[in-house]
Amino acid sequence: MEFLTEHFDDFVNGFFRSLSIALWGAVGSLLLGTLLAVFRVSPIPVLQGFGAAYVTLVRNTPLTVLLFGMAFGVPGLGINASFYLFGVVTLILYTAAFVCEAIRSGIATVPIGQAEAARAIGLTFGQSLGLVILPQAMRSVVPPVGSVIIAMIKNSAVVGAAGVGSDLFSVYKRMTSALGYAPLPVLTAVAVAFLIMTLSTGALLALAERRMAVAR
Amino acid sequence: MTGSESNVASTGRRPLVELRDVDKHFGALHVLRSVDLTVGEGEVVVVIGPSGSGKSTLCRTINRLETIDSGRITLDGRELPAEGKELAKLRADVGMVFQSFNLFAHKTVRDNVTLGPVKARGKSAAEARKKADELLERVGVANQADKYPAQLSGGQQQRVAIARALAMEPKVMLFDEPTSALDPEMINEVLDVMISLAKSGMTMIVVTHEMGFARRAADRVVFMADGQILEDAEPEQFFTAPRHERSKDFLSKILTH
Ligand SMILES: Nc1ncnc2c1ncn2[C@@H]1O[C@H](COP(=O)(O)OP(=O)(O)OP(=O)(O)O)[C@@H](O)[C@H]1O
Ligand SMILES: [Mg+2]
């Protein structure tokens, strides 16, 4: 376990780097995913079509393909950004498709009469959705969206493997190849670090679920 | 329908809701067939008819929860807008009470009543709250204001739903079988609220099979069958001497039960 004591700083830095990928990924994909879900249930055909096409395309493309597509395709458009930014953006674009579908399934659990009553008192589409439908959908949305976010945290390792740099996975690569430590102990440490992230996410979700159940 | 025309003319009321030659299909099903109906200001019209005759659909077209294929519907002289903000504004002027109450499950009783006035009418929270408490008092559920809908009985929920609709200060109220989901002992508490509303001069269109309500509060009874208005008469006349064969048949069925 000497790699841990000698390179503890690297590990801590790697952990926070991975954590920041996960956090930005979560925030971004929740926002974009919600927006896509709103598109899909909106009465405007163009938005519906865009939402459906986006989900079909992105959900059925492997994350690695999307990553390489971004890494090679986007600089060709004259946009230059760090690998970190590319990684995070790709993760958001990918995860949002799953968040969208999870939210949409939650919206479907809200009885149609709720939307009709909202419209009947003169709320606009946006108000009905934001004030009546989504708050009620959230209750059933927490578990599936939670699964999506946990999957995303694990996917962030794939983004790291694609070369984000200085995240946990890069630390692993440097330790085992350049510094020559045995892979298994290092891998175990990386796994524990990821477990810390996913398990605490799980705990937060359980808390959210319990609070939603009370608030009605 | 000459019936409705003549009635409105005879009572001299200002027409508030007018349907002209309205047609509506659900796929191949012709649910409204050239429906003509005029409801004057302050008038209470009861709509009755067999299941599937299009009563709910008729009600729902008036605030455009259901679109129509052809014809014209006007509210207070203005044709219903197609979509968007204008339509939302129109709906705010039309109160609707559903068979299944449809109270907002995640909001307290009071918040159910203040939501529309605050968000759709732009009233201040304090003003909306004051009005809500008055209305809850009026429908007899003031002591339930901080509870959630699921904690109330069906009759209480429906009275809250009436208060929620009234909070918008609507020009007309639509009721779609407001008592048919209720246990018998709760029907009267809702009907009493509706009767006092009718007495206060509210314009009402009520789909119901409650004869008592029709006799006590209605100015007219409209009988529908197969998407058509077959008869449009005063309650006494309709119940004692229906003109149409289908009305007679229908009345004999519901009165023997
Ligand atoms: N959204 C819909 N899609 C397809 N058909 C519908 C829809 N809503 C109603 N219908 C059909 O239209 C016809 C008229 O329905 P409507 O609900 O207006 O009748 P109703 O007179 O209110 O009946 P009830 O007394 O049972 O409430 C029925 O045959 C019904 O099955
Ligand atoms: Mg009906």
Res A77: pLDDT: 65
Helix (H, G, I), strand (E, B) or coil at A182: coil
Q: For chain B, how are helix, strand and coil distributed in percent, rounded to 5?
A: 45, 25, 30
Q: Which residues contact A189 (CB under 8 A, 6 or more apart)?
A: A3, A4, A11
The ligand placed nearest to the CA atom of residue B51 is 1
Type of residue found at A72: F
Which ipTM did the prediction report? 0.88
Q: Distance between CA B133 and CA B143 in Å, rounded?
A: 10
Token reading at B87: 């339509």
CATH of B15-255, one of 3.90.1150.10, 2.40.30.30, 3.30.70.260, 3.40.50.300: 3.40.50.300
CB-based contact A120 B94, cutoff 8 Å = yes
Full pLDDT tens readout for chain B, 257 residues: 444 444 444 467 889 999 999 999 999 999 999 999 999 999 999 999 999 999 999 999 999 999 999 999 999 988 888 877 888 888 889 999 999 999 999 999 999 999 999 999 999 999 999 999 999 999 999 999 999 999 999 999 999 999 999 999 999 999 999 999 988 888 999 999 999 999 999 999 999 988 889 998 999 999 999 999 999 999 998 988 888 888 888 888 887 65
* Rounded CA separation B114/A142 (Å): 28
C-beta B104 within 6 A of ligand 1:
no
The confidence band for A179, taking pLDDT boundaries of 50, 70 and 90, is confident
Question: Which residue of A lies nearest to B62 if distances are taken between CA atoms?
Answer: A120
Task: Give the per-residue pLDDT at B89.
Answer: 84
Whether B173 contacts B205, CB under 8 Å: yes
Portion 79-98 of B in contact with A at CB < 8 A = 83-85, 88-96, 98
pLDDT of residue B1: 43
**A155 lies in which domain range?**
2-215
Number of domains in chain A: 1
Q: Specify the 3-state DSSP secondary structure of B231.
A: strand
Is the shortest distance between the CB of B228 and ligand 1 below 6 Å?
A: no
How far lies B48's CA from each of A26, A126, B5, B53, in Å? 54, 35, 19, 9
For residue B69, report the distance from its CA to the centre of ligand 2, in Å: 19
The contacts of residue B7 (CB under 8 Å, 6+ apart) are B220, B232, B234
Task: Pick from B30, B53, B253 the residue to mutate for probing ligand 1's pocket: most ligand atoms within 8 Å of its CB.
Answer: B53
Domain containing residue A33: CATH number:
1.10.3720.10
Q: Where are the domains of chain B?
A: 15-255
- Closest CA–CA distance from residue A110 to any residue of chain B (Å): 10
Mind listing the pLDDT tens digit for each residue in B98-126?
999 999 999 999 999 999 999 999 999 99
